[in-house]
């Protein structure tokens, strides 16, 4: 009964979404207040219906209702309750439902926190979000119904959740990532609404900014969680693989990063308007593309759920309608969004624009590297793969100018500035960065050029950011969003320092070890103390105890090899000793015929800094959103109309 | 030329220069890092689409099913060799390192490495996907009609 309620609620939600996509927009175009006022109730109704539906699926999982085939395929009565809940989004159908629920969550957010905006504008935004919901609801109902029953013969117990997904990471990584993906739909909807109405001013930008920042923050968090999850669960010590699905989440992030900066220019300088719109469309289109790539099954990846071509075709058509429609509208209307504001070659606008371009180049590189193998195969040239070095090489070259400009830009004035004004600061930063690189080279014996470059660029960013804070005078008066920028940039400095130190400084060895054997890794000595059998709730395992000696300090690591009976699969649980300056990492391979084990040992310097940087960026987004000025949008537009009136009068 | 035009010219030239440099960079990097995918039969007979055989020393990807009973391990270190096949021809893969959890005889895997002679590949990476039913799509295509053998565990592996 409960699953049928969930299914029915979903069908009703589709009807509500169709109404939501049509009536408010119609009302806004025809100036019909009655239809416009339908927007909010429809969104609320939609949210309640989708919530009921998701609730029903959660309930089916929680109560082990194996007559629902999705539950039977992805859960098991032995599964702990928290994995039963997170198993809801452990595979295709449920994760799609989560996608839709998050979309309705963002929609209701827009509906409730937009009382200060004109009702017509809100109605347009909500209609666009309704249109997106229609596509996804139709998709789930037609091709991937999570409530399908297995009647009349249903299994006594479930097939179990993929052991890989039985992890804390699954509980939070997908929801965070989806919050980010879907969050860009708000910026997208705002952009489409602006194109339809032809109204794009600083208020529009000020309105769009916190939503975009929130989506970007969630996406940053989601990607970082995924990377961390991969590191300890499936990555054998790697933190990024340029896997097509990772790329699919990274592309909207790059576009989103460009967007939040371009929005800043649009808000503060009333400029970059059409560029901002294009980025808003791009960011969400890439989110959709990411969904398509993952769901259609055309990618070979850990993430790709087995799926049928019908689904792929559906999403492809939908993708063409949404992206094609948005870009057509953009082409027709964008020229009307004139930016009257002028600036000279050396100004903050231009520096921000340069970094926007670099982000887009990075985006194109990732897109090329992800799609080229698909195209290559489709046009009959055979399967190819593009190796990690391709991405690493290009990103290494791109991040140098990016970091250089990132350091300078906040110090430079809007509109017009002279380089000599900041000459001394730049020289001091350059000096400190060089000094730091030399210290690394002579004292810590780091001799890899990219590592030295990476850390000195991190120093460059931090020093210039400090200068920027100091030149503001009274720090207490500095708005929160300013601190957000500072934090985001420092986070980026941590990120590049972490990446360059861990990428070239890690020591890794695959060795064959019997109990009692020792292996020497630089100044760390790993020894295999024992391997014991351990029993878990739904698996049995071998647990290796490895002690690591570093000078006088001694660490103990526990690495496991687990066997999950239900799916009869094997999982590796790495033993990690995390640290601020280094991680010690041990993973157990297979057992050899003579009883010894294949063991991978790692010393990874500063790998935590990568995620630390990401955490900084998430907090940066929170600080920016918390800024007071986003709470008084209405007053701004009113004040602005009156000054506009004045200037015209003058 | 007035200063504004001069500035614009400068800006445009910088952008064009940057664009050219980036394109060149991308193309070189791409050229160095494209790995072709072969099935064992394609290694022996040349690619289905073009008929081109891989050259010795070339970096490539190979996907195939691990031939039953072909896995040979060293007694002292982690070196292992095994045979891959799809529809007939057999290619040997040599690998020094830890095999993935789902590596088993009779299972589909993908290896990345260099061709050392006409039928041998020295791999630096071996991948088996985290799904027991998984088969690389390319292999599935090549092997249509051939039965996929499910992995079997020994009692020792199950830890009983």
Across the interface, whether the CB atoms of B30 and A386 are under 8 A apart is answered yes
CA dist A323 and A286 (Å) reads 9
CA B36 to chain centre: 8
Dmax (CA) for chain A in angstroms is 93
Across the interface, whether the CB atoms of A306 and B77 are under 8 A apart is answered no
* Interchain contact A236–B (C-beta under 8 A): yes
Three-state SS at A549: strand
Å from B111 to nearest chain A CA?
12
Contacts of A165 in chain B (CB under 8 A): none
Provide the number of CB pairs (under 8 Å) joining chain A to chain B: 121
Lowest pLDDT segment from A89-93, A360-364, A479-483:
A89-93
Beta strand A518-521 with A524-535 is antiparallel
Å from B30 to nearest chain A CA?
6
The first and second tokens of residue A352, run together, are 């921000």
Across the interface, whether the CB atoms of B96 and A394 are under 8 A apart is answered no
CA dist A186 and B28 (Å) reads 38
Whole-number mean pLDDT of chain A?
88
pLDDT (average), residues A543-559: 91
Question: Residues A9, A11, A12, A13: is their CA dihedral positive or negative?
Answer: positive
CB atoms within 10 A of CB A340: 7
Which chain A residue shows the shortest CA-CA distance from B59? A387
Contacts of B7 in chain A (CB under 8 A): 344-345
pLDDT (average), residues A629-645: 54
Across the interface, whether the CB atoms of B34 and A542 are under 8 A apart is answered no
CB A475 within 8 A of CB A469: yes
The first and second tokens of residue B71, run together, are 């896995």
Give CA separation, A232 vs A31, A236, A464, A575, B102, in Å: 56, 7, 35, 8, 18
Residue ranges covered by each domain of chain A = 1-161, 507-605
Across the interface, whether the CB atoms of A570 and B10 are under 8 A apart is answered no
Across the interface, whether the CB atoms of B151 and A568 are under 8 A apart is answered yes
Interface test with B, best of A363, A382, A532 (most B CBs within 10 A): A382
CA dist A155 and B56 (Å) reads 52
Interface test with B, best of A377, A387, A601, A602 (most B CBs within 10 A): A387
Looking at residue A633, its pLDDT comes to 55
- pTM, 2 dp: 0.90
Higher pLDDT, B131 or A517: A517
Q: Of the candidates A171, A183, A216, A177, which has an alpha carbon nearest to the alpha carbon of residue A80?
A: A171
Å from A373 to nearest chain B CA?
9
Looking at residue B75, its pLDDT comes to 85
User: How big is the CA angle at A208 (ends A205 and A209), to the nearest 5 degrees?
Assistant: 85
User: Considering only residues 596 to 615 of chain A, which have any Cβ-Cβ distance to chain B shorter than 8 Å?
Assistant: 598-600
CB B111 within 8 A of CB B84: yes
CB A219 within 8 A of CB A177: yes
Instruction: Give the model confidence (pLDDT) of B16-56 as tens digits.
Output: 898 898 889 888 888 888 888 888 988 988 887 778 888 89
Residue A615: strand pairing partners: none
CA dist B38 and B138 (Å) reads 9
User: Considering only residues 103 to 162 of chain A, which have any Cβ-Cβ distance to chain B shorter than 8 Å?
Assistant: 162
CA dist A243 and B131 (Å) reads 17
Across the interface, whether the CB atoms of B78 and A345 are under 8 A apart is answered no
Å from B128 to nearest chain A CA?
10
CA dist B106 and B65 (Å) reads 6
Å from A471 to nearest chain B CA?
29
Q: Is the pLDDT of residue A189 over 70?
A: yes
Please report the ipTM that was assigned to this predicted complex.
0.77
Task: Name every residue whose Cβ is closer than 8 Å to that of residue A641 and which is 6 or more positions away in sequence.
Answer: none
Looking at residue A490, its pLDDT comes to 97
Across the interface, whether the CB atoms of A569 and B102 are under 8 A apart is answered yes
CA dist A243 and A252 (Å) reads 15
CB B34 within 8 A of CB A386: yes
pLDDT (average), residues A171-185: 93
Question: Phi-psi region for residue A308, left (φ > 0), alpha (ψ -120 to 50) or beta?
Answer: beta
Å from B89 to nearest chain A CA?
19
Looking at residue B4, its pLDDT comes to 76
- With a pLDDT cut of 70, the percent of chain A lying above it is 94
Q: Which stretches of A275-351 are assigned E, i.e. beta strand?
A: none
Q: Of the candidates B67, B87, B71, which has an alpha carbon nearest to the alpha carbon of residue B79?
A: B71
Across the interface, whether the CB atoms of B98 and A533 are under 8 A apart is answered no
The first and second tokens of residue A212, run together, are 């975009």
* Interchain contact A418–B (C-beta under 8 A): no
CA dist A86 and A80 (Å) reads 10
Residue A541: strand pairing partners: A534, A562
Which chain B residue shows the shortest CA-CA distance from A299? B137
Element (H, E) at B38: strand B34-38
Alpha helices by DSSP H, A235-272: 244-269
Element (H, E) at A564: strand A553-564
CA A511 to chain centre: 36
Instruction: Give the model confidence (pLDDT) of A464-505 as tens digits.
Output: 999 999 888 788 888 999 999 999 999 999 999 999 999 888
Query: How long a stretch of residues is chain B?
Result: 160
Looking at residue B134, its pLDDT comes to 46
Å from A177 to nearest chain B CA?
21
The first and second tokens of residue A476, run together, are 């207490």
Interface test with A, best of B6, B10, B27, B29 (most A CBs within 10 A): B29
């Amino acid at each position: 009964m409960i699953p049928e309620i969930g299914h029915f609620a979903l069908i009703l939600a589709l009807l509500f979404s169709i109404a939501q996509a049509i009536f408010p927009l119609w009302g806004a175009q025809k100036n019909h207040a009655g239809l416009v006022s339908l927007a909010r109730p429809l969104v609320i109704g939609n949210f309640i219906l989708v919530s009921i539906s998701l609730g029903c699926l959660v309930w089916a999982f929680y109560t082990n209702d194996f007559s629902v085939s999705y539950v039977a395929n992805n859960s098991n009565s032995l599964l702990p309750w928290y994995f039963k809940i997170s198993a809801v989004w452990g595979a295709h159908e449920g994760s799609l439902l989560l996608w839709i629920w998050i979309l309705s969550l963002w929609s209701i957010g827009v509906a409730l926190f937009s009382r200060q905006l004109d009702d017509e504008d809100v109605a347009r935004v909500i209609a666009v979000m309704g249109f997106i919901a229609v596509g996804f609801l139709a998709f789930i109902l037609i091709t991937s119904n999570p409530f399908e029953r297995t009647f009349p013969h249903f299994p006594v117990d479930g097939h179990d959740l993929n052991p890989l997904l039985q992890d804390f990471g699954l509980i939070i990584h997908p929801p965070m990532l989806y919050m980010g993906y879907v969050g860009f739909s708000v910026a997208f909807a705002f952009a489409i609404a602006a194109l339809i109405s032809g109204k794009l001013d600083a208020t529009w930008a000020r309105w769009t900014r916190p939503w975009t920042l929130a989506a970007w923050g969630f996406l940053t968090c989601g990607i970082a969680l995924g990377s961390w999850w991969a590191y300890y669960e499936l990555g054998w010590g790697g933190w990024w693989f340029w896997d097509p699905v990772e790329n699919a989440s990274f592309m909207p992030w790059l576009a989103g990063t460009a967007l939040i900066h371009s929005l800043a220019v649009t808000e503060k300088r009333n400029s970059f308007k059409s560029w901002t719109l294009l980025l808003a469309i791009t960011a969400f289109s890439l989110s959709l593309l990411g969904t398509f790539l993952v769901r259609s099954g055309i990618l070979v990846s850990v993430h790709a759920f087995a799926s049928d071509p019908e689904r792929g075709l559906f999403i492809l058509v939908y993708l063409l309608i949404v992206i094609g429609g948005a870009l057509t509208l953009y082409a027709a209307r964008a020229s009307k969004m004139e930016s009257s504001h002028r600036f000279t070659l050396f100004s903050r606008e231009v520096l921000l624009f340069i970094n926007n371009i670099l982000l887009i180049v990075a985006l194109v590189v990732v897109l090329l590297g992800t799609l080229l193998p698909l195209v290559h195969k489709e046009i009959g040239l055979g399967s190819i793969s593009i190796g990690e070095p391709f991405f690493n090489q290009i990103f290494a070259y791109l991040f140098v100018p990016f970091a250089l400009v990132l350091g300078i830009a906040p110090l430079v004035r809007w509109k017009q500035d002279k380089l000599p004004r900041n000459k001394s600061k730049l020289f001091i930063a350059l000096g400190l960065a060089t000094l730091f690189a030399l210290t690394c080279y002579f004292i810590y014996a780091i001799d890899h050029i990219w590592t030295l470059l990476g850390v000195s660029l991190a120093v460059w960013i931090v020093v210039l950011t400090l200068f920027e804070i100091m030149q503001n005078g009274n720090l207490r008066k500095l708005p929160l969003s300013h601190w957000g920028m500072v934090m985001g940039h420092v986070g980026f400095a941590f990120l590049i320092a972490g990446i360059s130190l861990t990428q070239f400084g890690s020591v890794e060895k695959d060795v064959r070890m019997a109990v009692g054997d020792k292996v020497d890794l630089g100044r760390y000595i790993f020894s295999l103390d024992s391997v014991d059998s351990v029993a878990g709730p739904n698996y049995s395992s071998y647990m290796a105890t490895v002690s690591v000696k570093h000078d006088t300090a001694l660490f103990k690591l526990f690495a496991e090899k687990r066997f999950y009976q239900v799916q009869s699969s094997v999982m590796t649980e790495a033993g990690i000793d995390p640290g601020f300056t280094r991680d010690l990492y041990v993973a157990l391979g297979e057992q050899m015929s003579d009883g010894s084990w294949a063991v991978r040992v790692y010393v990874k310097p500063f790998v935590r800094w990568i995620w630390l940087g990401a955490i900084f960026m998430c907090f940066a987004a929170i600080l920016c959103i918390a800024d007071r000025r986003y709470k008084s949008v209405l007053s701004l537009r009113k004040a602005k109309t009156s000054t506009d009136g004045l200037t015209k009068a003058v | 030329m007035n200063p504004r035009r001069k500035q614009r010219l400068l800006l445009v030239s910088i952008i064009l220069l940057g664009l050219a440099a980036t394109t060149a960079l991308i193309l070189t990097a791409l050229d160095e890092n494209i790995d072709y995918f072969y099935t064992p039969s394609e290694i022996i007979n040349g690619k289905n689409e073009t008929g081109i055989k891989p050259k010795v020393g070339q970096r490539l990807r190979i996907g195939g099913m691990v031939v039953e009973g072909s896995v040979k391990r060293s007694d002292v270190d982690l070196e292992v060799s095994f045979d891959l096949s799809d529809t007939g021809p057999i290619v040997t893969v040599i690998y020094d390192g830890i095999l993935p959890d789902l590596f088993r005889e009779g299972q589909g895997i993908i290896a990345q490495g260099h061709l050392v002679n006409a039928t041998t590949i020295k791999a630096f990476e071996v991948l088996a996907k985290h799904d027991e039913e998984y088969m690389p799509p390319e292999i599935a295509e090549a092997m249509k009609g051939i039965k996929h053998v499910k992995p079997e565990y020994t009692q020792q592996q199950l830890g009983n």
